[in-house]
């Protein structure tokens, strides 16, 4: 397991969810998402990041085993790229990610996980990405 602080993984997930939300804000369904090549590819990549970060949270014991489904979904999209069902991806984006975000916010609050250093680190990593910097600057749990 990595020595990376768990708060960094949490911030990675929040950034990925925000990016997916921005990439899909004008998209209504899976078929439409699939027809937007860059949005589709970007969302798939961000879902992979969410899955990897979730795996780290599971390995740390911070999340319950029920979240393993997120890692399993990441594995499906990572290893079955040409067989990905766009409606399942859309269901995850439209319904599951907002739920997961709310659950993570609750976890951070309940467990009193401090994100300030992780947010500062993410700002350095994303110094040339104005949209991510804007998100991080305005982000509050």
Q: Which residue has the tokens 């911030």?
A: 11
Q: Count how many residues are written for the chain.
A: 141
Cα 24 from Cα 39, distance rounded (Å):
7
Is the pLDDT at 2 greater than 80, yes or no?
no
Confidence class of residue 1 from pLDDT cuts 50, 70 and 90?
very low
Dist. CA 14–CA 115, nearest whole Å: 11
In this prediction, residues 129-141 reach a mean pLDDT of 95
DSSP collapsed to 3 states, 83-116? HCCHHHHHHHHHHHHHHHHHHHHHHHHHCCCCCH
Percent of the chain topping pLDDT 70 = 97
* The pLDDT value given to residue 78: 84
- Give Cα separations from 96 to 11, 27, 31, 70, 126 (angstroms): 18, 16, 18, 10, 26
**69-101: per-residue pLDDT in tens?**
999 999 888 887 567 899 999 999 999 999 999
By the 8 A CB rule, do 47 and 73 touch? yes
pLDDT score, position 55 = 96
**pLDDT of 124:** 97
What number of other Cβ atoms are within 10 A of residue 69's Cβ? 12
CA–CA distances in Å: residue 47 to residues 1, 82, 89, 106: 21, 15, 9, 21
pLDDT of residue 82: 65
């Amino acid at each position: 397991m990595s020595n990376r602080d768990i708060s960094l993984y949490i911030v990675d997930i929040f950034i990925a969810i925000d990016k997916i939300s921005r990439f899909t804000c004008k998209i209504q369904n899976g078929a439409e998402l699939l027809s937007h090549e860059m949005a589709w590819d970007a969302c798939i990549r961000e879902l992979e990041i969410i899955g990897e970060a979730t795996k780290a949270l599971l390995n740390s014991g911070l999340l319950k085993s029920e979240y393993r489904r997120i890692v399993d979904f990441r594995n499906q999209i990572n290893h079955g790229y040409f067989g990905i069902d766009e409606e399942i991806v859309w269901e995850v984006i439209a319904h599951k990610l907002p739920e997961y975000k709310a659950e993570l916010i609750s976890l951070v609050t309940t467990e009193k996980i401090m994100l300030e250093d992780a947010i500062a680190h993410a700002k350095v990593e994303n110094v040339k990405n104005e949209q991510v910097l804007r998100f991080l600057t305005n982000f509050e749990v």
